[in-house]
Amino acid sequence: MKTKFNIYITLALTILLGASCSDDFLEDKKNYGSYDDTFYQSQERTQAYVDNQYYEFFSAYKSPIATLVGSYTDTNSRLTEELGGTQDLINPNKTLINAADASGYYGVKIGTGILNHPYNRIRECNNLLEDIDIKGAILDKTFRDQAKGQMYYLRALQYFDLMRTYGGVPLVTTVQAAAADNPEIQLPRAKVSEVVEQIVKDFDMAASLLPRTWASAGSNYGRVTKGAALAQKARVLLTYASPLFNKNWDGSNDRWDAALKAGLAAEAQLTADGYGLVGSNAKQWEQMFLVDNAFCPEAITVQFCGPGNTAQTTNNSWEKAIRLQGQGGSGGGTPAPKEMIDLFPLADGRRPTAANGYNDFTFFVNRDPRFYRTFAFSGVRWAYKENTTAALWTYRWVDGASKIGFADGNSSASSTAFVRKMTNLTATNATNYQYSGTDIFEYRYAELLLNIAECYAALGQTGNTLAYLGRIRNRVGIPSANNYGIGTLADKYAAIEAVLYERRVELAYEGKRYWDVQRWMLYDNATLPGITGGTVSKLGLAPINGTQRTGNFLQYKNTAASEKTDPITAAARAAVVADPDATNFQAQLITLATFYNNNFVRTPLVTALDNFNGAAVKIKFNPNYYISGLNATALTQNTWLLQTIGWNDANGGSGTFNYQE
């Protein structure tokens, strides 16, 4: 989503800053929209303004598991089964109900300073939309239209993340002069339906103004397009149709029909523009994520990252986070909870159950091809620039004196498998992967197809659901028999569950799972008064509440002579390494499984992956957390705003704003 023009932004600002005091771009920004009449008469300055908006929206987007424009943290991703570690919102020892505990994403009032908060970003979008056609009338009309299209897109994107966080929020679509005593700007929280209406209107406007593709693709790489606007609209309407915001999700088809129509329109537009699923096997699926500074048909929106350590470059922090100590990474890598390891289908697409032949100790045998491109485990090839034949080994051993040794120095490893999705096998550990330039795909064509499949499922059109799921599975090499292993879908509930399952696999570790859990209210069946729920039972799922993310050690099964000496020789390890790119990879996995059975056992962690002060805990997500209350700062500075149901206001009173219509 953020673009290649990082360097251009900085250079443009440098030019502007060197012009004169009246031309000082940053000084103008301090006035929150008080621009002189000449500002928009320069295409260069206006372009710098647009580019700076991309920077403010996306400069913090450095990891695929980060969410919420502007802030981009991985907090939400850590609330699901994808990653272990107890966070406040899933800690059974904490109850968050007061305004002081609510999300601070809303920001502070304008006038506090030049802070990159949601309504400041919205204000900057409004400013250009109000002024460019008047003060910049001499500018080329196509340029003006494209600038406006980008602002409509960004404003809609910001309101969508505000909606997903708070439900209804004030809708500000003009530049306002901040004043504590002006009732005209004391806007109430809009209904969610009104927020969605505005978002859809903005994305439609963006689609009407944006190009299908950008000329000079290199310098414009990553700018939003007509198809991207339509795809985002489809994502918004899917969210609006989902149970969190739609108490009639199971009784009325109106919202699902609208979401389906939007999804199909986006698919048609993007297909016509050259987008589509990439590859016909899992290796090509993996390599798709590494398309750099060039058009990738899979990437509807992409965050541009660059290598090197300069002030103008946004690096991707993912490679450093997922590599283990033994490979020069930041420590324990990104351990995959057992629940994620046991999730992926078998090679023929069936669920991994004991009845289907799944063995959770030699978990890597006979799995979905995407499994081997999503996870690494002891004995599998995981190369990097300095060692093209490197393999991962993360077991431990115990000697006769109960001292513990660790393979390859990976002393903080806490799982039998680790996330390797979106890794670059030619990345360098010379700087511990700190300056990775791998781009981040924020919205993929595969997600759009899954959005459409979900709409078909909710409408009871199981045949169309299977057709779209089949397209996802076909391109990674899963056999077509028995509907790619999915089987027969008995009803719409089974179809919805099948789509949500496929989303967990295809979109794993791409920052999407929390939003699926949230909009389907999957932590358990408990709801707030006045809120309709019960979707966990309807879909035949087990509640997430009461579960925990499980970590394990892979441990040498015999007593070692010394904790200082690895009991398994380098030659023995080298003889069983499995390479996902090898033609005999499946045979290699069988050999590796025998090696596991002969040498290893699985043992529990000393300190559980999910713990509070060292004691194991189970997930407890309270129903008021699905939609955050407004925080105390927002409420005390905007006293007319109602607090969200399930939360207390700044004075301790119960919230009354109901986000479910």
Phi, psi of 449 (to 5 degrees): -65, -35
Q: pLDDT band at 23, cuts 50/70/90?
A: very low
Q: pLDDT band at 216, cuts 50/70/90?
A: confident
The listed range with the strongest mean pLDDT (106-115, 324-333, 619-628) is: 619-628
From 517, 440, 502, select the one nearest 472 (Cα to Cα).
Answer: 502
CA 252 to CA 241: how far, in whole Å?
10
Q: Look at 22-26, 383-387, 535-539 and tell me which has the smallest mean pLDDT.
A: 22-26
What is residue 231's predicted lDDT score, i.e. its pLDDT? 98
Residues 6+ apart with CB under 8 A from 254: none
Task: Look at residue 158 and tell me whether its pLDDT is greater than 50.
Answer: yes
Task: Look at residue 43 and tell me whether its pLDDT is greater than 60.
Answer: yes
pTM of the model: 0.94
For the chain, the structural domain boundaries read 319-436+554-604
CA 526 to CA 165: how far, in whole Å?
19
Q: Which two tokens stand for residue 177?
A: 């002069």
Task: Look at residue 17 and tell me whether its pLDDT is greater than 60.
Answer: no
pLDDT in tens, 99-137: 999 999 998 765 566 678 999 999 999 999 999 999 999
Residue 96, beta-bridge partner list: none
What is residue 109's predicted lDDT score, i.e. its pLDDT? 62
Task: Look at residue 1 and tell me whether its pLDDT is greater than 90.
Answer: no
Helices 462-474, 445-458: inter-axial angle, 10-degree rounding = 160
CA 326 to CA 324: how far, in whole Å?
5
Q: Where do the DSSP E strands lie in 492-608?
A: 552-556, 600-604
pLDDT > 90 in the chain, percent? 84
Contact predicate 382/392, CB 8 Å? yes
Task: Look at residue 5 and tell me whether its pLDDT is greater than 60.
Answer: no
Contact predicate 105/633, CB 8 Å? no
Q: pLDDT band at 35, cuts 50/70/90?
A: low
Per-residue burial over 329-355, b if 16 or more Cβ lie within 10 Å, else e, is bbebbbbbbbbbbebbbbbebbbbeee
Count of H helices and E strands in the chain? 21, 12
Q: How confident is the model over 139-147, as a mean pLDDT?
A: 97
Q: How confident is the model over 272-294, as a mean pLDDT?
A: 94
Q: pLDDT band at 16, cuts 50/70/90?
A: very low
Helices 43-58, 141-166: inter-axial angle, 10-degree rounding = 20
The amino acid at 187: L
CA dist list (Å): 19 to 45, 63, 184, 466, 467: 11, 36, 37, 60, 59
Task: Look at residue 378 and tell me whether its pLDDT is greater than 70.
Answer: yes
The three-class DSSP label of residue 370 is: coil
Question: β-pairing, 396-398 with 404-406?
Answer: antiparallel
What is residue 7's predicted lDDT score, i.e. its pLDDT? 31
CA 457 to CA 537: how far, in whole Å?
17
Q: pLDDT band at 549, cuts 50/70/90?
A: very high
The three-class DSSP label of residue 315 is: coil
From 22, 638, 533, select the one nearest 249 (Cα to Cα).
Answer: 533
CA 243 to CA 521: how far, in whole Å?
7
What is residue 3's predicted lDDT score, i.e. its pLDDT? 40
Task: Look at residue 21 and tell me whether its pLDDT is greater than 50.
Answer: no
Residue 460, beta-bridge partner list: none
What is residue 641's predicted lDDT score, i.e. its pLDDT? 95
pLDDT in tens, 436-453: 999 999 999 999 999 999
Task: Look at residue 186 and tell me whether its pLDDT is greater than 90.
Answer: no
pLDDT in tens, 514-535: 999 999 999 999 999 999 999 9
